[in-house]
Structure 1
Amino acid sequence: MAGWVLCMTLVLAALAGAAGETRYEKFLRQHVDYPRTSTLAAHRYCETMLARRRVTAPGRPCKPSNTFVHAPAARPGGRLLPGARCTGFQSTPSAVSLTACRLRGGDTRPPCAYRARQLQQQHVRVACQAGLPVHLAGTYAAPQ
């Protein structure tokens, strides 16, 4: 009985912590990695970052894809991502580098294995709420 009570207490504490995260904070946790985190094995970047950032976790299905933007969320004299006047969908004003993570294989249960693709000169499109980015809607190559 004591084990069940402890288990429920831990589950409720975890849920309370997740509920305290704003959509903007979740966006930053899942999509902004600046400066780019270096890992011991570059080919393990996606698995390492997705686990470290709590995007993938034991008992939850693997996320099919996730993108990490390697630029600051805010820069002096300008923003990477639209700021206070951000409404609806907006694109980054300048091109940035990013890592696109795609799930390898057909199994969506952990352990999750991802293929990482480094992309340069990409624009990021975001959905905004209350002036802040809350959803990465897509990326596209900068015009040449």
Structure 2
Amino acid sequence: MRRTQVSMAGWVLCVTLVLAALAGAQGQSYQAFQQKHVDNPRTRLPARNYCNTMMARRGMTRPVCKFTNTFVHAPGMTVARACSRTPDGQGYYTTPNRLSVTICRLSGGSPRPPCRYRIAQTVQHYVRVGCRGGRPVHLQNTIP
């Protein structure tokens, strides 16, 4: 009986690891990038409600509050132009032009819902991304 319990525990661990790997791979897709970071044209909301509404709509408030997120107000293919450029020393690509972005930050100390956000800034920045297959899959940061 003990051997069966060990085998079952190993099987459960294996399935858990496979599911975690699949979830990670799913998060690294062009579609996931667009869902998290592209808001074009910028959703018309009052500035005081923008981050709270967008973070909730885009699924970044469950199961925990994402600390910070950047929304790019340009078409996804405009951001994708970065992927055709030469990467920097860390393997990231930068857009050829500055793009309008809104950076949202969690306000308050708890990462547990309910999540409350504020606009840290809305600016024109170059966008630095990680690419796969010629498309952005990760937003690393923005550069003034």
Specify the alignment match of 2:73 in structure 1.
Answer: 70
Are residues 118 and 80 of structure 1, via their aligned partners in 2, closer, same or farther at CA, if it must alter by over 3 Å? same
Q: 2:115 aligns to what SS in structure 1? A: coil
Match of 2:9 in 1: none
> Identity, % of aligned pairs?
48
Alignment of 1:116 onto 2:119? yes
Using structure 2 for the length normalisation, give the TM-score. Answer: 0.72
Aligned 1:1-144 pairs, distance under 5 A? 23-39=29-45, 41-57=46-62, 60-74=63-77, 79-82=78-81, 85=84, 88-141=91-144
Change (3 A) 1:27 1:20: closer
The alignment yields a C-alpha RMSD, in angstroms, of: 2.2
State the 4+ residue runs in structure 1 displaced beyond 2 angstroms. 18-22, 79-88, 117-121
TM-score (norm 1): 0.72
Q: Distance in 1 between matches of 2:123 and 2:68?
A: 18
Contact kept in structure 2, 1:80 and 1:94, CA below 8 Å: no
Task: Report SS of the residue matched to 2:36.
Answer: helix
Secondary structure at the aligned position of 2:30 is classed as helix
Distance 1:85 1:95, change over 3 A: closer
Cα deviation, residue 42, structure 1:
2.1
* Partner deviation per Cα, 1:81-122 (whole Å, 9 max, x = no partner): 336646641101101111100111111100101111333221
The runs of 5 or more residues in structure 2 that have no matched partner are 1-18
| Cα distance change of structure 1 residues 23 and 54 upon mapping to structure 2, 3 Å threshold | same
Higher helix share: 2
Cα shift at 1:50: 1.0
